[in-house]
A and B are shown apart, each in its own frame.
Chain A
Amino acid sequence: MTTATPTVGAGVQATAKKTTRAGRVRKRLNSRTATLVSIILALLWTVPTFGLFISSFRPENQIKTTGWWTFFTDPQFTFENYQEVLFSSSSSSGQLASYFINSLAITIPSVLFPTAFAALAAYALAWINFKGRDWLYIAIFALQIVPLQMALVPLLKFFSTGVTVAGVQVLPAWDLVDEQKFAQVWFAHTCFALPFAVYLLHNFIAQLPGDLMEAARVDGATHPKIFRTIVLPLITPALAAFGIFQFLWVWNDLLVALIFAGGTSDTAPLTVRLAEMAGTRGNEWQRLTAGAFVSIVVPLIVFLSLQRFFVRGLLAGSVKG
């Protein structure tokens, strides 16, 4: 690449200034057609979701016999589907609120751990000189392909029986009960997220200007200090970007939670409950529609409120590379 792209090291402020100037230039290029086409495409993209959304407010027999578009000619409106999903539940499976709390308790640490570990690892792979670091990076990158389904059994064995080498118990079994099982889920999600996290953050950290690091080294700063005072502030957007991805992935995950936390209201996340609700009675569109929207709400709020970081985060990382 030969174009003189600005480096992130020039500072966030400088970048911001440049974008606004770029923005001004582009404003002039604004075209009505572009606006029209992009809005139409966006609306088309949203039609399937919108249809489900409308359906979630329609009575059961209406959903099953007529298309959602008839809502506009024959509006029949009900909250019953949401009522059913949110408040009615069998006594053995508990309240939806419990599952909601489980989802939170599972998701927050499962986002924090891999983000921090991957940031440290990506820094080492990008800026510390040691033998074989490129191969290590490639190996971690390639691990992305290991399907997590194949990791379930060995990982579960690791938790439930510990590690035994040649008959000697090296690590004990975890023996967790009830809500302690969250720790297993955090652990599992951290494992599965790390390859992508390292890949994404390495892409970003490797772009930071070398002069900046060199200057710090000359001043006698150690790697931990450079990481904390120089790198960390610059990569916050990238961290936020990965954080959102990981959040969406963990929040929407079913399989990992089912295996490592179990399916009871003590530990299972929202997705498990919604899957069971839909699963026991098959094509219950009315429950599915409302349930789907209940589960979308949180990720949507998170995405919309962090969108700004997200865009900036991926931006700088992929400018040059």
Chain B
Amino acid sequence: MEFDFAEEQPKFLMLMYGLIAFVAVVGGLLLLLDVVPAWFARRREAQLVAASAGGAPPPRRRKPREGLFALFFLLPTLLFLIVGLVVPAIRTTVLSLMDKDSANWVGLRNYGWMFSEPSIVRVLTNTLIWVLLVPLVATAFGLIYAVLVDRARLESLAKSLIFLPMAISFVGATIIWKFVYAFRGEEQEQIGLLNQIVVSLGGEPKQWLLDSPLNTFLLIVIMIWIQAGFAMVVLSAAIKAIPADIVEAARLDGVTPWQMFWRITMPSIRPALIVVVVTISIATLKVFDIVRTATNGNYDTSVIANEMYNQAFRYGEPGQGSALAVFLFILVTPIVIYQIRNLRKQREG
């Protein structure tokens, strides 16, 4: 089949409409917010003039206008969020209290199922391992690397290489690693790097993804490989933002690099560190593609998002799937509470 450019034209047209809609919506909103208050201001001025002519006190109302502005600034975001996330979240919670036909209320039965079924308990434990390990290791590596690279030559090249996995889709990254973990029989030549290393050290080739719990850690390596680049870029940026005067002063005081790191670097980049840990934690809680592509949750490697998808969409058990999703909501509470405390501190400070 020849590639016919004319057939693609409607797509570009559609893209253009999308861009026009973007300009219209965003531009229109800003314009509206500019023009309307100006009009009101003029009217108030006129009222003011009229009032002063009549000798009455000028009408004052400023507070409600702030709220109005906020409403308009937030309007598009709130509309999209309500339709795309709030309604689904409520629906999921309701479904989790119903049976598989979503017709009868079953109370907390689906939650009971979740904690009594050994394979599901395993899924919950796995998710816990993921969310404890990935943010910790990825951030630690990112931080160490950011400190190292800060004093190194060829900095941008090195950083680009570390960041590279971020540009690859989760599915693509998992394929890359499946290739590393690939197995061939003892009598054959190995095609997987890991087994090749084992063999050349005199060991026997292993089916890496089969043995629990090792396989979960091997999958976690993939996530760390992807996320460390993100951590490194953000933290490196934060380190570079530390004012030179402070660094110089500290050096004049004769602090060791070790002290420098703990006394100057760490406190200065703490906010960046929080952003990194929070973002990676949430991404890890929702991890789906890696497990699905590598093992599809077999060999005791499943995590909540996978099991949720399987239950809800493949096994026809939306109630159980939803209960798993709600459990995910609950797992994020500590992060939310931490964020609230942070915000409070920020407001006070």
Do they bind each other? Answer: yes
Which residues of A does B touch, CB under 8 Å?
1-6, 15, 18-19, 21-22, 24-26, 29-31, 34-35, 37-39, 41-43, 45-49, 51-52, 55, 63-70, 89, 91, 94-95, 97-98, 101-102, 104-105, 108-109, 112-113, 116-118, 120-121, 123-125, 128-131, 133-134, 136-138, 140-147, 149-151, 153-155, 158, 178-180, 182-183, 186-188, 190-192, 194-196, 198, 200, 203, 206, 222-225, 227-228, 248, 251-254, 271, 275, 285, 288-289, 292, 295-296, 299-300, 303-304, 307, 310-312, 314-321
Q: Which of A66, A192, A285, A318 has the most CB of B within 10 A?
A: A318
Whether, in the assembled complex, B187 has its beta carbon less than 8 Å from a beta carbon of chain A, the answer is no
Q: Smallest Cβ distance from A51 to chain B, in angstroms?
A: 6
The secondary-structure label for the interface of chain B is helix
CA of A285 to CA of B246 in the docked complex: distance in angstroms?
53
With the chains together, A145 CA to B81 CA distance in Å? 13
With contacts A35-B152, A65-B189 taken as known, whether A144 is within 8 angstroms of B37 at the C-beta atoms is no
Instruction: With A128-B66, A252-B172 as known contacts, state yes or no: A311 contacts B164, CB within 8 Å.
Output: no
When distances are taken between beta carbons in the complex, the residues of chain A under 8 Å from B86 are: 143
Q: Are B161 and A42 in contact, CB atoms less than 8 angstroms apart?
A: yes
Knowing A145-B329, A196-B279, A292-B168 are in contact, say whether A41-B80 is a contact too (CB < 8 A). Answer: no
Query: In the complex the two chains form, is A150's CB within 8 Å of B160's CB?
Result: no
Query: Which one of A151, A224, A254, A300 has the highest number of Cβ atoms from chain B below 10 Å of its Cβ?
Result: A224
Q: Chain B interface residue count: which class?
A: 35 or more
Q: How far is the CA of A47 from the CA of B193 in the complex (A)?
A: 10
B contact residues around A222 at 8 Å (CB): 33-34, 37-38, 69
B88 close to chain A: CB less than 8 A = yes
Residues in B with CB closer than 8 Å to A113 are 22, 25
Q: Give the interface SS of chain A, mostly helix, strand, loop or mixed.
A: helix
B340: which A residues are within 8 A, CB to CB? 134, 138
Evaluate contact between A296 and B168: CB separation under 8 angstroms: yes
B339 touches A138 (CB 8 A): yes
Instruction: Give the A-B contact count at a CB cut-off of 8 A.
Output: 382
Contact pattern, B 70-97, Cβ under 8 Å of A = 1, otherwise 0: 1001101110110111111101100000
- What would 26 A/B residue contacts be, using CB atoms closer than 8 Å? A2-B267, A34-B151, A39-B158, A52-B175, A68-B191, A95-B3, A98-B3, A98-B7, A101-B12, A105-B12, A120-B74, A124-B69, A124-B74, A141-B336, A143-B89, A146-B329, A147-B288, A153-B88, A222-B69, A225-B34, A253-B169, A271-B169, A292-B175, A318-B269, A318-B272, A320-B271
The residues in B between 137 and 164 inclusive whose CB is less than 8 angstroms from any CB of A are 145, 148-164
Complex Cα–Cα for A89 and B305 (A): 33
User: CA of A223 to CA of B62 in the docked complex: distance in angstroms?
Assistant: 13
B66 vs chain A, min Cβ distance (A): 6
Given contacts A91-B1, A108-B15, contact A48 B176 (CB under 8 A): yes
